[in-house]
């Protein structure tokens, strides 16, 4: 007898014993997914609704609260608390979802307890932080966003989902779509950078990648967009810190990527740790009820972040755990991650009339709906597939895909006198630096089930190309002041034709709870760079880091700089591909690189101010000790070839309601190699009922041109693209003059102007 049949029989055994409702449910139950996924979306929803309701009718209040409870297993530590009793809780029906448990075998075992040893046998939902891969690790999300390649990002999310689903997982706590304008904040590595437009496109691509077209397919996961909301605006860039924003900035800058993820079908939402305007996001009715449910009609379920309900006591918003549970559930939080606040208090709160049973029912409906959509009631073990686990995970195909997206994520920041690409015939290459051979670092933070031992390092990647013509010396560590290796590194440099210096941050220096007040290259690494420069050998710096770094000395003195982030399992081959010119770098920054931490926050779409910077006028908005401009602007990245831009052209000087204007520009590859350029389109609204940023990204296109080849790149703008929240908070475009800038990064200055009538 197949496992699926055993499950059905088991359900039937209980349900037939429970009377007529159960029989109705059981009949509805069989063959569920075939019917669901060949039907139209509305019919699917209706069918699911009927079945959800028929299950709900069978449940006791205790069982309902169980469905609203999510506990971690003891396999991974992703937060400050652990429970020793999660298996007993599963058996008692007190938990409906588990995270940090994975592999087909382990999850099958936990699922068996839920399905076979609880009264109703409702299957568990297994969640995990599949952030940039499950076992085949892709670039950290910030790095990957630098590819500006939406299809590539969708593909990497798809592969991540496919590997994770084979290992018994159903649900990923991704994508993280928090706009991040402060490089001190460690979690900048986990998102798509500072821009709302690009961040929204990437959010949608990642959701599509994880979820595919069919949540019941065994190679997809349900996504969880996080952290709702404005977590990236933590004061002083310190993780978990207070957030205080105007509603305008919230709606205009921070919320759109969430909306984009939900429009792409994202099934679940995670609340953030921060407070917003004095109310923790985890009990914030404005965010959870007014915006998410009422304005956006979100049908999925909301889960808290790790112990967020409990943390409302520290916030000073809840007197105790009981009140915190009441506030969270009444604000619209459906599932409690790890606080055990629902587990401890929800039954009493219902009995005391402080929480209505209707609220509980609604939350349970939303959770069961997702379980039905995943096909778990059809076969609770469908995602635990040892065979697929073996064949899929870390397959050659997946590793190849990781290499392709990794090399697209590398950003060439500097290349004096065409230092790069290196000649494959180079006599002797010195590879120096603490990160060149560090598997543990190259995999990056938030790498989930990824294992460092599977990473091919840069040193190995280079050896695979030029064999024993490369020598390695570590030079110094990243985070200790030990200079004893300088001498050997300098000797090696002197004997070599060029130096590849691989420096930056350790992986643990970014990610959750990893904010830094100093965003320069840590430890003695810069001093090592200075000494290597003094040898006179070409100095090629490969940076590995999870945030923008302030690198003024390197920017002035290195001969070439490659921003390589943490690129994952295939980091080494991908960077070697770029170093030796097998891949012409095409990455563009999605976050501004400041000259110093003192410029933070610095982002491309700032406002003009009443006294814009004028170097000849003291009383203007500037610093005494540093220019206003960043080291590298948003959108910046070089290529081994060069691109020349013509003058932007406009189809009409006027734009009317219901109409559009076309802006176009001729781009020519004027160098000697084929290359990919990301043509960017920015708009400035000159006068508004509220002031507007000096530039806003409104579109981009990637084109690949052969040497000498030209392309006319065209963008269409409609009044919808010009909307913002006006003084009365209406989302609309205001008549007036607009400038359109087309070019290679956000510092572009050539524009055309039109009037919106």
- Residue 55 or 179: which CB sits closer to ligand NOJ? 179
| Residue 353: CB minimum distance to ligand NOJ, A | 33
Q: Is 451 helix (H, G, I), strand (E, B) or coil?
A: coil
Does 241 participate in binding ligand NOJ (rule CB under 6 A)?
A: no
- DSSP calls for 538-595: -EEEEEE-SS----HHHHHH-SEEEE-----TTHHHHHHHHHTTSS------SS-B-S
Query: Which residue's CB is nearer to ligand NOJ, number 100 or number 676?
Result: 100
For ligand NOJ, which is the closer residue by CB, 81 or 716? 81
Q: Based on the shown chain and the rule CB under 6 A, indicate whether residue 173 belongs to the binding site for ligand NOJ.
A: yes
d(Cα 105, Cα 384) in Å, to the nearest integer? 7
Contact mark string toward ligand NOJ, 252..291, x via CB under 6 A: ----------------------------------------
How far apart CA 553 and CA 501 sit, in angstroms, is 14
Q: Which of 305, 334, 437, 563 binds ligand NOJ (CB under 6 A)?
A: 305
Which CB, 512 or 696, lies closer to ligand NOJ?
512
Structure tokens at 408: 């697209």
The secondary structure of 429-447, three-state, reads: EEEECCCCCCHHHHCCCCC
412: left (phi over 0), alpha (psi -120 to 50) or beta: beta
Instruction: Give catalytic status of residue 305 as yes or no.
Output: yes
Cβ neighbourhood burial of 631 (10 Å; 0-12, 13-18, 19+): buried
Q: Examine residue 71 and tell whether it contacts ligand NOJ (CB under 6 A).
A: no
Q: Looking at 79, 477, 485, 601, which residue binds ligand NOJ (CB under 6 A)?
A: 79
DSSP-based three-state secondary structure for 335:
strand
Shortest gap between Cβ of 72 and ligand NOJ (angstroms)? 7
Using CB under 6 A, which of 306, 317, 343, 751 touches ligand NOJ? 306
124 versus 492: smaller Cβ distance to ligand NOJ: 124
The distance of closest approach from Cβ of residue 693 to ligand NOJ in the complex, given in angstroms and rounded to an integer, is 29
Q: How far is the CB of 361 from ligand NOJ (least distance, A)?
A: 27
Inter-residue contact 303 to 342 (CB < 8 Å): no
Site size with ligand NOJ, rule: CB under 6 A: 8
Q: Which of 63, 89, 129, 194 binds ligand NOJ (CB under 6 A)?
A: 129
Q: Which of 89, 305, 379, 559 is catalytic?
A: 305
| Pair 559, 538: CB distance under 8 Å | yes
**From 24, 37, 58, 78, residue interacting with ligand NOJ (rule: CB under 6 A):** 78
CA distance 179 to 471: 41
The mark string for 183-222 relative to ligand NOJ (x by CB under 6 A, - otherwise) is ----------------------------------------
For residue 512, state whether it binds ligand NOJ (rule: CB under 6 A). yes
Q: Which residue is nearest to ligand NOJ (CB)?
A: 78
CB of 270 to ligand NOJ, least distance (A): 6
* CA distances (Å), origin 570, targets 123, 394, 396, 548, 648: 36, 11, 11, 22, 39
Q: What is the nearest approach in angstroms of ligand NOJ to the Cβ of residue 448?
A: 9
| Burial 633-650, CB ≥16 within 10 A → b, else e | bbbbbbbbbebebeebeb
d(CA 479, CA 504): 10
* Site residues (CB under 6 A) for ligand NOJ, limited to 219-238: 226
Q: Per the structure block, which two tokens stand in for 654?
A: 């006027």
CB of 107 to ligand NOJ, least distance (A): 16
> What positions carry a catalytic annotation?
305
Interacting residue ranges for ligand NOJ, rule: CB under 6 A: 78-79, 129, 173, 226, 305-306, 512
């Amino acid at each position: 007898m197949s496992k699926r049949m055993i499950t059905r029989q088991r359900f039937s055994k209980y349900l037939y014993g429970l009377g007529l409702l159960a029989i109705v449910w059981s009949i509805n139950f069989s063959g569920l997914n075939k019917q669901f996924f060949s039907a139209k979306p509305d019919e699917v929803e209706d069918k699911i609704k009927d079945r959800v309701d028929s299950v709900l009718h069978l449940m006791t209040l205790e069982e309902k609260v169980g469905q609203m409870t999510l506990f971690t297993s003891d396999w991974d530590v992703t937060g400050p608390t652990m429970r020793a009793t999660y298996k007993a809780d599963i058996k008692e029906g007190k938990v409906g979802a588990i995270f940090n448990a994975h592999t087909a075998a382990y999850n099958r075992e936990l699922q068996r307890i839920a399905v076979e040893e609880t009264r109703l046998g409702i299957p568990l939902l297994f969640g995990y932080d599949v952030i940039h891969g499950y076992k085949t690790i892709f670039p950290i999300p910030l790095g990957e966003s630098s590819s500006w390649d939406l299809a590539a990002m969708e593909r990497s999310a798809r592969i991540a989902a496919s590997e994770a689903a084979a290992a018994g997982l159903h649900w990923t706590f991704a994508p993280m779509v928090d706009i991040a304008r402060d490089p001190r904040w460690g979690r900048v590595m986990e998102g798509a950078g500072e821009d709302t437009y690009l961040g929204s496109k990437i959010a949608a691509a990642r959701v599509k990648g994880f979820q595919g077209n069919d949540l019941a397919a065994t190679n997809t996961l349900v996504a969880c967009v996080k952290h709702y909301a404005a977590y990236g605006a933590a004061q002083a860039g310190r993780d978990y810190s207070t957030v205080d924003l105007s509603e305008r900035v919230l709606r205009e800058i921070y919320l759109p990527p969430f909306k984009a993820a939900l429009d792409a079908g994202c099934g679940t939402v995670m609340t953030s740790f921060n407070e917003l305007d004095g109310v923790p996001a985890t009990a914030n009715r404005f965010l959870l009820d007014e915006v998410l449910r009422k304005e956006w009609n979100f049908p999925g379920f909301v889960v808290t972040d790790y112990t967020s309900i409990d943390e409302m006591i520290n916030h000073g918003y809840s007197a105790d755990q009981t009140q915190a549970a009441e506030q969270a559930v009444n604000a619209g939080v459906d599932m409690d991650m790890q606080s055990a606040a629902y587990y401890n208090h929800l039954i009493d709160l219902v009995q005391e009339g402080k929480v209505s049973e209707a609220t509980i029912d609604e939350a349970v409906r939303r959770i069961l709906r997702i379980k039905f959509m995943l096909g778990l009631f059809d076969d609770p073990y469908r995602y635990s597939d040892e065979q697929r686990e073996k064949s899929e995970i870390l397959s050659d195909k997946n590793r190849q895909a990781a290499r392709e997206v990794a090399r697209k994520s590398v950003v060439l920041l500097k290349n004096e006198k065409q230092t790069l690409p290196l000649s494959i015939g180079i006599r002797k290459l010195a590879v120096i630096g603490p990160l060149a051979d560090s598997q543990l670092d190259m995999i990056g933070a938030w790498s989930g089930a990824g294992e460092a031992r599977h990473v091919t390092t840069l040193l190995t990647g280079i050896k695979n190309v030029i064999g024993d013509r490369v020598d390695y010396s570590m030079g110094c560590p990243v985070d200790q002041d030990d200079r004893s290796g300088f001498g050997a590194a300098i000797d090696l440099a002197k004997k070599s034709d060029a130096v590849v210096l691989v420096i930056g941050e350790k992986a643990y220096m970014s990610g959750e709870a990893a904010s830094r007040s100093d965003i320069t290259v840590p430890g003695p690494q810069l001093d090592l760079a200075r000494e290597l420069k003094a040898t006179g050998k070409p100095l090629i710096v490969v940076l590995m880091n999870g945030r923008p770094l302030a690198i003024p000395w390197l920017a002035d003195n290195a001969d070439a700089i490659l921003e390589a982030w943490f690129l994952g399992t295939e980091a080494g081959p991908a960077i070697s591909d770029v170093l030796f010119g097998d891949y012409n770098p095409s990455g563009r920054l999605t976050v501004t690189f400041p000259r110093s931490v003192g410029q933070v926050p610095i982002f491309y779409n700032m406002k003009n101010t009443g006294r814009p910077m004028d170097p000849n006028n003291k009383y203007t908005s500037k610093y005494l000790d540093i220019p206003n401009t960043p080291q590298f602007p948003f959108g910046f990245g070089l290529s081994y070839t060069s691109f020349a831009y013509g003058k932007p052209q406009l189809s009409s000087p006027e734009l009317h309601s219901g109409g559009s204007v076309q802006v176009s520009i001729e781009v020519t590859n004027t160098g000697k190699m084929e290359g990919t350029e990301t043509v960017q389109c920015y708009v400035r609204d000159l006068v508004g009922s509220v002031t507007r940023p000096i530039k806003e990204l409104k579109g981009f296109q990637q084109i690949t041109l052969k040497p000498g080849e030209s392309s006319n790149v065209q963008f269409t703008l409609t009044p919808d693209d010009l909307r913002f929240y006006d003084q009365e908070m209406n989302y609309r475009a205001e008549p007036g003059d607009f400038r359109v800038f087309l070019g290679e990064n956000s510092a572009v200055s050539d524009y055309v102007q039109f009037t919106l009538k």
